[in-house]
Structure 1
């Protein structure tokens, strides 16, 4: 009996994948593992010394380091909560509104809402800092024009308002991303399902809540985990608007700015690559835990609910 011939090795697949694998390894994989490696060392008398987990013990146990870390983590959590509670619901509502065939100029509205996402964070941070300035900003005048000047306050200069204000600025900039993702998910719903709902008398808002929303739950879950990853990697807007010190009095300090000051140093603070790598490793651990909770907990429930 003749032996079946072996399939030839598809060398062209390896050739096509090699450039992408090389670039991803050089840009992502190697820096990640090198950061984890640096967190296990410290510099003593100008020499790199293996210290194991001592840097993590310092970060979580030392009074000075732990106070800064938990302050940054708490601010990061609030930054994320604002996005989840404001950005994503608004994005879903806008997508539902713009997906209506009765709405005129929907393409113009989609473009106008999405444009801020492609703007430079430096431009956005600097522009909003000018807008909200109590000296030369236009916000006081705009509120005065509609009789609401009493609501104005120097929001970026007050500790209790600064982080929330910057969070809402970030929401304004990036609300177009969840809007477009949910919009695409709504368009992918088969017309047959909606027509069957109409036959049962489910139309208008009832169709959205009872038919569309359950079908787009997986997309909402993906948007939520993307929001989580992006917010706990955030740095740019805070740095552009408030600087590396994340004022006033570190009230807008998040893990990204804390890691930046520690790693590179700022003003009188000397840079410490090993403690900076420790903070970056802690950020990676937090993000990894959050993503795993979504993948092994929430996503399974969404799949069971969908099917």
Structure 2
């Protein structure tokens, strides 16, 4: 009877969270998968199986747009992995130094952009980088580098990288705080033992601290992957739904938005939009499974 009461208590306490999560996450997910199997003919919904996916990957117009958006997504993710996460780790290592003064102020200052709205960040950086009224040309001129300025958001070869770096600026505080917490959780006994052996400074970080925080780095990497492949807001706020110039900043999120809801002369098609969303889900699920079953098992031995 006692065990049965405990189980009922668990059900009662979990029920509200499960219902809310099912209503806002599980049901929309399965409904999206269902919509991807239908199309609309003469204002009637008709089951077509995998025809929408055949169109998405087989039709030259659709497939070119999809692979362009997917390639841009991978580049967006690559910039975050190459720039954001190493900088976050370096900042966490610096801020965790016990002799650093005003560490709390630095942590707060670096983390503040994370809580800003995407609309504010996108619009503000669009103003900053504007060649007409932006302050970027004057700032570069002040240090003698005005010749390096270019309308980065207006050039196809630079726009996506520029937006990725803006996103790095906004979210570098998240890996910094997660790694900072991981560094603080390392037992002092281990560091003291390493110090007795003469392992201090940068040597201690590379040989002792870094292997111990690898699980946290793995979690940050998979969160970065999921977040980047769900990205939409910053591109939309700064470049619009067309993700210009000439779709050079188009990612799966903006491609799905235009297809599902329509934009300007493009009519909305919820069924093709759902097919794109299903493809996004499959890509993210594959990445998460690779991390869980191949990578996490290898770094688990570093956990306490």
Alignment of 1:162-181 (within 5 A): 162-181=159-178
Residue 296 (str. 1) matches residue 293 (str. 2): yes
Shift of 1:9: 3.2
Alpha-carbon offset, residue 215 of structure 1: 0.1
Deviations 1:114-165, CA, capped at 9 Å, x for gaps: 0000000000000000000000000000000000000000000000000000
Aligned counterpart for 1:190 among listed residues 164, 184, 187: 187
Residues 183-225 of structure 1, C-alpha deviation per residue, up to 9 Å, x if partnerless?
0000000000000000000000000000000000000000000
Structure 2 unmatched ranges of 5 or more: none
CA distance in 2, matches of 1:296, 1:16: 31
2:5 is equivalent to residue 9 of structure 1: yes
Instruction: Give yes or no for contact 1:125–1:237 (8 Å, CA) kept in 2.
Output: yes
SS in 2 for 1:8: helix
Aligned counterparts of 1:7 and 1:45: Cα–Cα separation in 2: 57
Name the CA distance, whole Å, in 1 between partners of 2:4 and 2:269: 52
Once the 2 structures are TM-superposed, how far is the Cα of residue 15 of structure 1 from its aligned partner? 1.2
Tell me the CA shift for residue 238 of structure 1: 0.2
- Alpha-carbon distance in structure 1 between the residues aligned to 2:36 and 2:134: 43
Question: Which digits, 9 at most, give the CA deviation of each residue in 1:211-242, with x for residues without a partner?
Answer: 00000000000000000000000000000000
- Please give the alpha-carbon distance, in whole angstroms, between the structure 2 residues aligned to 1:293 and 1:138: 44
Deviations along 1:287-306, one digit per CA (max 9) or x if unpaired, are 00000000000111111455
Does residue 267 (structure 1) correspond to residue 250 (structure 2)? The answer is no
RMSD of aligned Cα (Å): 1.0
The 3-state SS of whatever aligns with 2:105 is helix
Using the alignment, how far apart are the partners of 1:274 and 1:111 within structure 2? 44
| Structure 1 consecutive aligned stretches of length 4 or more whose deviation exceeds 2 Å | 5-10, 304-307
Q: Which runs of 5+ in 1 are unaligned?
A: none
SS of alignment partner, residue 201 of structure 1: coil
| Partners of 1:214 and 1:306 within 8 A in 2 | no
Cα distance in 2 between the residues matched to 1:48 and 1:23: 29
TM-score calculated relative to the size of structure 2:
0.98
Say which SS state the counterpart of residue 45 (structure 2) adopts. strand
Give distance in 1, aligned partners of 2:200 and 2:26: 49
In the superposition, relative to structure 1, how do residues 106 and 305 fare at CA in structure 2: closer, same or farther (>3 Å)? closer
Tell me by how many angstroms 1:16 deviates: 1.1
Match in the other structure for 1:49:
46
Name the SS for the 1:268 alignment partner.
coil
Q: Deviations over 1:35-83 (max 9, x none)?
A: 0000000001111000001100100110000000000000000000000
Cα distance in 2 for partners of 1:174, 1:283 equals 22
Count of matched residue pairs = 303
Give the aligned partner of residue 248 of structure 2: 251
1:213-252 equivalent positions in 2, closer than 5 A: 213-252=210-249
Cα pair 2:215 2:302 within 8 Å, conserved: no
Match of 2:78 among 64, 77, 81: 81
